[in-house]
Structure 1
């Protein structure tokens, strides 16, 4: 079980799980007891749990949790090397330059996600360290969109073995509705293919207001898993 603090919220992370052979022994109930105690000790008002299975849903519902959001996992199997997409007029898509692009990239990311549900701003050092210290970090998989010398958007991908993962697809608010997000995503597909990753996935809020789900469908991605975020008020 892993939890992190976000404002007034304790967020039980996706890695939290129970092995199938150990289910039905009260372990899930005990873990949620621990999570609630951890949150209360820190005076947090809410606990979020992300649930995939029917058993998991029944467990959290029995403890007073209510659904507040649905998320989708979407994937695509790349059958051939994707071509490098044409950038929209006025933009260039290029690779990431570690150390040179970092602070501006962070600022664009924070602005792009500021209106997303339950977004929590991150300080630059923490934001970069969490991404660059991942075991699947490869700077060759990060693609940036440039307009007039400034970063307008980015696709930040990671990959282990044959699975590629687009963690962040960010387009600055002033550059949306121009096809930039799709061009960045397809450029990310190409980089992942070249890195040996033939299957690509990502996670998206099903109620995303920027049109992200439609963008991913246009790029050929399909929903492979649906899960719910449950919330419990602790005070």
Structure 2
């Protein structure tokens, strides 16, 4: 069998990358859930540098493995995506080796002496994890993708608690508030990387975001105290990307209120499912909050780590 050809990706490759990711989805979770626009958002990100940080492996005309590297830390922490079909592990290993080498180079460009690389994989991935372990990779965290059915007849808009108001993110000033709240409420979370406003806007693919599905919650005596950022451009389900409440306003049921608000809005828009991702070791009680509000595990994702250099 000839060795698969490897080259960098371009934005024009988005359709074949999407097809590969959906083939992986079908194997790992039983149905395709990757939308092309999410792939395009990664490829067109202003920090992407595809010539140096992306890899495609083809077996003839068929894409069999894909890798993408990015650096949000400006230091030693580097992230990668890695997808491979089960019967093409050798091509996947070639891409992984190239990404490891590039990650160390990127970290050294940042002035770091080593690279701490993270990779998110389904808990039962198409990647042969024995090959990862042999290269020194270990699992350091687990996340759950949770889902909940919604129904417009049952999921009605909740009444806000006393002294609490919620507003849609309608202005540029509101967007700046959401950015500030996101940086503050996630600062202590595992693997959080601070992002300035412009980089955060690129991270959330703001050009495609329906800002009417982003809400700010204010509390008497505290001010703007929480937010929920969601989007309705995924074919599989409505999606809650981030939800945060500042420390001084926690314990008042505000996270649950924002969740119920989002469920009602998505149900009214005709959605039947809402999903989100959560760190299972989150110390703010988020997994318990989501469970109390009817969300259950759709699938699990592991964070793998390698220290290189």
TM-score (norm 1): 0.90
Residue aligning to 2:270: 196
More displaced stretch, 60-69 vs 35-44: 35-44
* Correspondent of 2:120 among 41, 45, 50: 50
Q: Give the Å deviation of 1:145.
A: 0.7
Provide the rounded CA distance (Å) in 2 between the counterparts of 1:18 and 1:191: 37
* Correspondent of 1:27 among 79, 87, 91: 91
Residue aligning to 1:108: 181
* Correspondent of 1:36 among 100, 109, 120: 100
Q: Give the Å deviation of 1:127.
A: 1.0
Provide the rounded CA distance (Å) in 1 between the counterparts of 2:102 and 2:260: 41
Residue aligning to 1:4: 70
* Correspondent of 2:224 among 151, 172, 179: 151
Residue aligning to 2:24: none
Residue aligning to 2:214: 142
For the 8 Å contact 2:152–2:264, the answer to whether it is kept is no
For the 8 Å contact 2:147–2:274, the answer to whether it is kept is yes
* Correspondent of 1:84 among 133, 157, 174: 157
What 5-or-longer segments of structure 2 have no aligned partner? 1-66, 109-113
Task: Between the two structures, name the one with larger relative contact order (CA 8 Å, sep ≥ 6).
Answer: 1
More displaced stretch, 57-66 vs 203-212: 57-66
Residue aligning to 2:131: 59
Provide the rounded CA distance (Å) in 2 between the counterparts of 1:12 and 1:141: 29
For the 8 Å contact 2:170–2:212, the answer to whether it is kept is no
3-state secondary structure, aligned to 1:2:
strand
Provide the rounded CA distance (Å) in 2 between the counterparts of 1:79 and 1:196: 8
Provide the rounded CA distance (Å) in 2 between the counterparts of 1:70 and 1:162: 22
Q: State the aligned residue count.
A: 230
Shift in alpha-carbon separation, 1:38–1:196, aligned structure 2, 3 A:
farther
Q: CA RMSD in A?
A: 1.9
What 5-or-longer segments of structure 1 have no aligned partner? none
* Correspondent of 2:194 among 105, 116, 121: 121
Shift in alpha-carbon separation, 1:54–1:97, aligned structure 2, 3 A:
closer
Q: Give the Å deviation of 1:139.
A: 1.2
Provide the rounded CA distance (Å) in 1 between the counterparts of 2:304 and 2:103: 15
Max radius of gyration: which structure? 2
Shift in alpha-carbon separation, 1:100–1:196, aligned structure 2, 3 A:
farther
TM-score (norm 2): 0.70
The answer to whether structure 1 residue 184 and structure 2 residue 258 are counterparts is yes
For the 8 Å contact 2:158–2:260, the answer to whether it is kept is yes
1:151-190 residue CA offsets vs partner (Å, 9 max, x unmatched): 2101100122351110000111111011000101111112
Q: Give the Å deviation of 1:128.
A: 2.3
Residue aligning to 2:166: 93
For the 8 Å contact 2:84–2:126, the answer to whether it is kept is no
1:93-146 residue CA offsets vs partner (Å, 9 max, x unmatched): 2222131312222111111000101111000121123325354x2112112211
Residue aligning to 1:68: 140
Shift in alpha-carbon separation, 1:191–1:59, aligned structure 2, 3 A:
farther
